[in-house]
């Protein structure tokens, strides 16, 4: 029996026992033998899923397509989408269309919970699929499916602008959809409505009449070595799943170092500084001059949002004496003076590869499923809504250049890195869940 057949038959056997249990009112109504059988079945199901289905994208696809023809499933198979091959996303979308426009409760009542979960995830991985169906989403004006408006261009522009003009209840929703549409006329409309040059949701700023992105178009996923992933998988908390396709990106990589051991002491608090990211090689499309090293004080960053560093010609950071409103470049703490043999700060990062981000992972706002959210360039994945930074020296809006998410690198949140190339200043911002 192949993995798919075994997995599906195990699921069927579990359903039969669960039906019996529920019909008779609780687990204790099953015989001891049946309870043991149910436990064993669940354990075996998990083994087949992680050992034979997850590693094989085509097997994952076969299971998912089979399940999408059924009703009344829980959201337990939600993560399967992250294991199926890119080319199959449209098929999953088609099989989930019955749930389009439904909210979570409506989908539950209709037995379309899994289909609803698929749409919820697909809006981030393939927003284009939704564009021909926006009328179904327009009528709902739901915050659950705003990702579907990403890159929608002129579609529903007139209606959305009208909504922003006239509706109190849906004004913010319409604004978000207009910003995410990417259509310059929509951006102009929102900017004049709000009397601003910076649209935080879209991540764009208007200068001399032109919109420019506050992030690099180029995007790279930070890929730890398979050995590091394996080690981490054995010690990781149960909620971490470090094996989906966002953690298995193929192709040529650019060498870099990230995270790793702590370094010398922070001049402000005497706590050890933490290495975040070292780029020794140029990263095409990202406005950073290698070599460059980003660090943070994990203690100061709790109250200093953001934490500011000035980088010397070698890319090495120093903390200015003051920061934020009292920024003063001099009188800081110069890392290049350190005895590197003693501290070895710069060589304790973990070796990683930067891999060009496949389009499906370009716009990641799905924080539920432990995807790889460690990235250089591309649009930021905001954990708590957008927070763009201003350079404390020149007062220009800074560019977003990287993010490190919990899991391998960091627990309980996301660290965002911003950069001002004219002042060579980095701003490190951390956000908690």
Would you count residue 302 as binding Zn ion (CB under 5 A)? Answer: no
Would you count residue 420 as binding Zn ion (CB under 5 A)? Answer: yes
Q: 165: exposed, middle or buried (C-beta count within 10 Å: 0-12, 13-18, 19+)? A: exposed
Would you count residue 269 as binding Zn ion (CB under 5 A)? Answer: yes
> Is 338 or 423 the residue whose CB approaches Zn ion more closely?
423
- Identified binder of Zn ion from the candidate list 391, 401, 404, 427, rule CB under 5 A: 391
Interface pattern 229-248 for Zn ion (x via CB under 5 A): --------------------
Q: How far is the CB of 45 from Zn ion (least distance, A)?
A: 47
Q: How far is the CB of 269 from Zn ion (least distance, A)?
A: 3
Q: How far is the CB of 326 from Zn ion (least distance, A)?
A: 16
> Is 124 or 309 the residue whose CB approaches Zn ion more closely?
309
Q: How far is the CB of 399 from Zn ion (least distance, A)?
A: 10
Residues 190 and 169 sit within 8 Å (Cβ to Cβ): no
Residues 173 and 146 sit within 8 Å (Cβ to Cβ): yes
Would you count residue 214 as binding Zn ion (CB under 5 A)? Answer: no
- Report the 3 state secondary structure along 339-408: CHHHHCHHHCCEEEEEEECCHHHCCCCCCCCCCCCCEEECCCCCCCCCCCCECCCCCCECEEEEEEEECC
Phi, psi of 240 (to 5 degrees): -85, 135
Would you count residue 316 as binding Zn ion (CB under 5 A)? Answer: no
As a whole number of angstroms, the distance between CA 79 and CA 63 comes to 12
Interface pattern 134-173 for Zn ion (x via CB under 5 A): ----------------------------------------
How many residues sit close enough to Zn ion to count as binding (CB under 5 A)? 12
249 contacts: CB under 8 Å, gap ≥ 6: 221, 223, 355, 356, 357, 358, 361, 372
385 contacts: CB under 8 Å, gap ≥ 6: 200
Cis peptide before 291 (omega within 30 of 0): yes
Would you count residue 393 as binding Zn ion (CB under 5 A)? Answer: yes
60 contacts: CB under 8 Å, gap ≥ 6: 53, 54, 80, 83, 84
Interface pattern 170-209 for Zn ion (x via CB under 5 A): ----------------------------------------
Q: How far is the CB of 301 from Zn ion (least distance, A)?
A: 8
As a whole number of angstroms, the distance between CA 83 and CA 244 comes to 5
Q: How far is the CB of 287 from Zn ion (least distance, A)?
A: 13
> Is 75 or 396 the residue whose CB approaches Zn ion more closely?
396
- Identified binder of Zn ion from the candidate list 174, 297, 316, 415, rule CB under 5 A: 297
As a whole number of angstroms, the distance between CA 144 and CA 124 comes to 11
Would you count residue 428 as binding Zn ion (CB under 5 A)? Answer: no
Point out which span in 1-9, 53-61, 206-214, 270-278 binds Zn ion (CB under 5 A): 270-278
Q: How far is the CB of 351 from Zn ion (least distance, A)?
A: 27
Point out which span in 1-9, 189-197, 293-301, 334-342 binds Zn ion (CB under 5 A): 293-301
3-state secondary structure of 130: helix
Residues 407, 413, 419: CA angle, nearest 5 degrees:
105
As given in the structure block, the two tokens for residue 328 are: 């003063």
Query: In terms of DSSP bridges, do strands 413-420 and 375-377 run parallel, antiparallel, or are they unpaired?
Result: unpaired
Would you count residue 394 as binding Zn ion (CB under 5 A)? Answer: yes
Q: How far is the CB of 203 from Zn ion (least distance, A)?
A: 18
Would you count residue 300 as binding Zn ion (CB under 5 A)? Answer: yes
> Is 129 or 296 the residue whose CB approaches Zn ion more closely?
296
Q: How far is the CB of 310 from Zn ion (least distance, A)?
A: 10
Helix (H) or strand (E) holding 48: helix 32-48
- Identified binder of Zn ion from the candidate list 91, 193, 213, 268, rule CB under 5 A: 268
Beta-strand runs (E) in 110-218:
198-199, 204-207, 210-213
Would you count residue 423 as binding Zn ion (CB under 5 A)? Answer: yes
3-state secondary structure of 211: strand
- Identified binder of Zn ion from the candidate list 41, 112, 222, 266, rule CB under 5 A: 266
Point out which span in 4-12, 37-45, 168-176, 389-397 binds Zn ion (CB under 5 A): 389-397
As a whole number of angstroms, the distance between CA 283 and CA 354 comes to 9
Residues 207 and 396 sit within 8 Å (Cβ to Cβ): no
Would you count residue 321 as binding Zn ion (CB under 5 A)? Answer: no
Would you count residue 17 as binding Zn ion (CB under 5 A)? Answer: no
> Is 113 or 275 the residue whose CB approaches Zn ion more closely?
275
Site for Zn ion, rule CB under 5 A: 266, 268-269, 271, 297, 299-300, 391, 393-394, 420, 423
């Amino acid at each position: 029996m192949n993995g798919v057949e075994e997995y599906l038959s195990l699921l069927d056997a579990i359903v039969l026992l669960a039906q019996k249990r529920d019909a008779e009112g609780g687990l204790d109504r099953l015989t001891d033998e049946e309870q043991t059988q149910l436990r064993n079945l669940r354990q075996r199901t998990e083994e087949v899923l992680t050992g034979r289905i997850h590693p094989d994208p085509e097997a994952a696809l076969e299971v998912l397509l089979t399940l999408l023809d059924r009703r009344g499933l829980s959201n337990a198979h939600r993560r399967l989408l992250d294991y199926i091959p890119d080319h199959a996303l449209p098929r999953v979308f088609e099989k989930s269309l019955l749930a389009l426009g439904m909210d979570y409760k409506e989908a539950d009542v209709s037995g379309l919970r899994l289909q609803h979960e698929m749409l919820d995830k697909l809006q981030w991985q393939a927003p284009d699929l939704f564009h021909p169906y926006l009328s179904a989403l327009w009528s709902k004006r739901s915050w659950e499916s705003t990702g579907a408006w990403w890159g929608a261009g002129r579609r529903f522009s007139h209606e959305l602008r009208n909504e922003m003009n006239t509706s109190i209840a849906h004004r913010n929703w319409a604004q978000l959809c207009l910003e995410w549409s990417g259509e310059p006329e929509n951006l102009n409309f929102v900017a004049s409505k709000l009397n601003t040059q910076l649209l935080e949701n879209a991540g764009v700023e208007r200068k001399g009449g032109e919109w420019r992105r506050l992030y690099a178009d180029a995007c790279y996923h930070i890929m730890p070595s398979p050995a590091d992933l394996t080690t981490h998988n054995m010690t990781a908390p149960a909620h971490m799943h470090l094996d989906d396709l966002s953690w298995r990106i193929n192709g040529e990589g650019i060498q870099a170092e990230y995270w790793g051991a702590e370094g010398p002491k922070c001049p402000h608090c005497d706590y050890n500084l933490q290495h975040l990211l070292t780029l020794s090689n140029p990263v095409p499309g990202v406005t950073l001059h290698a070599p460059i090293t980003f660090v943070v004080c994990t203690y100061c960053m709790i109250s200093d949002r953001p934490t500011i560093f000035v980088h010397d010609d070698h890319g090495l950071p120093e903390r200015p004496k003051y920061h934020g409103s009292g920024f003063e470049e001099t009188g800081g703490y110069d890392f290049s003076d350190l005895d590197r043999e003693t501290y070895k700060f710069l060589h304790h990062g973990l070796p990683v590869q930067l891999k060009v981000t496949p389009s499906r992972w370009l716009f990641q706002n799905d924080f539920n499923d432990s995807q790889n959210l460690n990235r250089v360039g591309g649009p930021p994945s905001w954990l708590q809504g957008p927070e763009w930074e201003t350079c404390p020296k020149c007062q220009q809006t800074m560019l977003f250049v990287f993010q490190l998410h919990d899991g391998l690198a960091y627990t309980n949140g996301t660290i965002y890195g911003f950069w001002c190339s004219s002042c060579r200043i980095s701003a490190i911002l951390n956000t908690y869940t």
